[in-house]
Amino acid sequence: MPIALAQVKELHDSGQAVLVDARSGASFAKEHIAGARSLPLEEASRQAAPRLDGVAKDTVIVVYCNGFSCHDSMELGKLLIKAGYGSVYVFEGGLPEWRDAGFPTSGGTP
């Protein structure tokens, strides 16, 4: 289910969702939404049931990637739903829309 920038920002700021970056580990290390977790689509698709350590199945999850031209977040969202996560949303604008809005990003290791 798609989710808009304003909703993502509200969930991010309130701590009511876990943001998950579907891009490669190298891309995540270079820049990601501050506080996001890395779960590359390539890695998740090799697992029988992808999981997010320490994240309950009823947690709100927002998956993103490189924006509207990137479909990794949609594919990862489908895998997470199939793995039993019940509240999965896709932020289609992804990192580019977040960054363009001036919202916080950071670099780090996956």
Q: If pLDDT is split at 50, 70 and 90, which confidence band does 108 have? A: low
- CA-closest candidate to residue 62, choices 8, 109, 4, 5: 8
The predicted-structure confidence for 15-51, as pLDDT tens digits, reads as follows 999 999 999 999 999 999 999 999 999 999 998 889 8
Domains of the chain, with CATH numbers? 5-106 (3.40.250.10)
User: Which residues, listed in sequence order, are joined to residue 62 by a DSSP beta bridge?
Assistant: 19, 89
- Record the pTM: 0.93
Q: What is the pLDDT of residues 75-100, one digit of tens each?
A: 999 999 999 999 999 999 999 999 99
